């Protein structure tokens, strides 16, 4: 079983180190083909990739934070992440049955 921390941001990597997260690999981007049952993937993945992680039988732990609008689009430091309450939360993400959207509908 392998644990991955997925981030291309130095501040997030430093934040994880400060939290004493035990991971086997820190990588900037996830290759879902590498994920095996029993693995743990930690990061802020797009929902479709997080669903692939869960479908592979791995655990997905999301790097969650309450980011004020003024900080969006900026590179955050580990201190910034601590100030906005960054935390790791487990999620089990699954797709649902697709629906057909009527482009004429406004409701």
- Compare 101 and 83 and report the one with higher pLDDT: 83
Binned at pLDDT 50, 70 and 90, residue 104 comes out as confident
Per-residue model confidence as pLDDT tens digits over 3-13: 999 999 999 99
HEC string for 61-87: EEEECCCCHHHCCCCCCHHHHHHCCCE
Per-residue model confidence as pLDDT tens digits over 3-49: 999 999 999 999 999 999 999 999 999 999 999 999 999 999 999 99
């Amino acid at each position: 079983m392998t644990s991955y921390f997925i981030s291309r941001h130095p501040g997030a990597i430093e934040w994880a180190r400060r939290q004493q997260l035990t991971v086997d690999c820190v990588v900037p981007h996830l290759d879902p083909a590498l994920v095996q049952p029993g693995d743990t993937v930690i990061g802020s993945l797009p929902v479709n990739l997080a669903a692939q992680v869960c479908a592979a039988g791995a655990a997905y732990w999301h790097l969650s934070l309450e980011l004020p609008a003024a900080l969006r689009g900026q590179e955050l430091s580990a201190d910034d992440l601590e100030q906005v309450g960054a935390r790791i939360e487990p999620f089990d993400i699954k797709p649902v049955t697709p629906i057909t959207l009527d482009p004429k509908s406004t409701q």
